[in-house]
């Protein structure tokens, strides 16, 4: 079911988004070589709880942690581990979510660990760029699959692979609601976007092939060719004009020129 949120519900989702943006800011400050992916998860959970929120990922379909922490060729759903160390030159994607007064927010960022290659930095920047390109199409009266077309138009000239096995989603009281929000062109334009819908847009981009496989742990997606992968996600609100990005801090919105 696709849900349209009331003004009051939107306000709570705004608050949830601001909490989540602060969690990601804490992580961004802390990331450095020598940390484990468990340490990254610990920062997420500690910050989420300190803000009075609940970590939505913990226990979701049995997921064991507050954050998915995915390194290098890991696309998404990396399971935090005390044995997995971040090394200089790695890239690490952190995907986490909060529940605030019953309302969800979901966002992901990919970070550099120490000094990284230009190739890796380009992937991070262009994956983020594809999110902002995609949400230009996320406006009332447009269609949900217009977003994926815009992501694809932005990404394909770089020769990267767009992951198709996982997609964005509606969000609200539930972490995953309808509709699905693909990051690629579909045959149909999908459902019409309406004011006060809230969705999570989350391009997952590989330097090499778009194809992925799942590790034996049953959770973690990796690029099929072992190439680097990046992920960028925010929860957004559909309006009559530009969407409002709920899970970015005011200074980040200014930096990226979004509402």
Per-residue DSSP letters for 5-48?
A: --HHHHHHHHHHHHHHHHHHHHHHHH--TT-BHHHHHHHHHHHH
Which two structure tokens, joined as six digits, stand for 136? 């230009």
* Burial grade of 198 (CB within 10 A; 0-12, 13-18, 19 or more): buried
Cβ proximity to Mg ion, 43 vs 167, nearer residue: 167
Cβ proximity to Mg ion, 35 vs 110, nearer residue: 110
Q: Tell me which residues touch Mg ion (CB under 5 A).
A: 106, 200, 202
CA-CA distance, 230 to 15, in Å (whole number)?
A: 26
Q: What's the min distance (Å) between Cβ of 83 and Mg ion? A: 26
Q: What's the min distance (Å) between Cβ of 182 and Mg ion? A: 13
Per-residue DSSP letters for 133-151?
A: HHHTT-STTSBHHHHHHHH
Cβ proximity to Mg ion, 14 vs 116, nearer residue: 14
Q: What's the min distance (Å) between Cβ of 99 and Mg ion? A: 14
Q: What's the min distance (Å) between Cβ of 205 and Mg ion? A: 15
Cβ proximity to Mg ion, 116 vs 200, nearer residue: 200
Cβ proximity to Mg ion, 45 vs 95, nearer residue: 95
Q: Is the dihedral of CA 201, 206, 210, 212 positive or negative?
A: negative
Which is nearest to 19 in space by CA: 105, 93, 109, 101? 105
Q: What's the min distance (Å) between Cβ of 168 and Mg ion? A: 6
Cβ atoms within 10 Å of 108's Cβ, excluding its own: 26
């Amino acid at each position: 079911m696709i849900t349209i949120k009331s003004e009051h519900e939107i306000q709570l989702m705004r608050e949830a988004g601001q909490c989540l943006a602060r969690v990601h800011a804490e992580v961004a400050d802390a990331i450095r070589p020598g940390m484990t992916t468990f340490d990254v998860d610990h920062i997420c959970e500690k910050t989420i709880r300190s803000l009075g929120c609940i970590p939505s990922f913990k226990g979701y379909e049995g997921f064991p942690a507050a954050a998915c922490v995915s390194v290098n060729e890991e696309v998404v759903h990396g399971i935090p581990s005390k044995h997995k160390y971040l090394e200089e030159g790695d890239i690490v994607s952190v995907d986490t979510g909060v529940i605030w007064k019953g309302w969800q927010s979901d966002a992901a960022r990919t970070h550099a660990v120490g000094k990284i290659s230009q190739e890796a930095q380009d992937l991070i920047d262009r994956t983020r760029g594809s999110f902002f390109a995609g949400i230009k199409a996320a406006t009332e009266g447009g269609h949900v699959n217009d977003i994926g077309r815009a992501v694809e138009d932005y990404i394909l000239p770089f020769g990267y692979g767009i992951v198709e096995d996982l997609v964005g989603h509606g969000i609200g009281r539930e972490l995953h609601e309808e509709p699905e929000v693909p990051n690629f062109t579909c045959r149909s334009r999908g459902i019409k976007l309406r004011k006060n819908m809230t969705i999570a847009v989350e391009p997952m981009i590989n330097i090499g092939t778009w194809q992925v496989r799942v590790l034996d742990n049953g959770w973690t997606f990796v690029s099929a060719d072992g190439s680097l992968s990046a992920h960028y996600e925010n929860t957004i609100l559909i309006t009559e004009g530009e969407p409002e990005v709920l899970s970015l801090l005011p200074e980040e919105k200014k930096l990226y020129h979004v509402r």
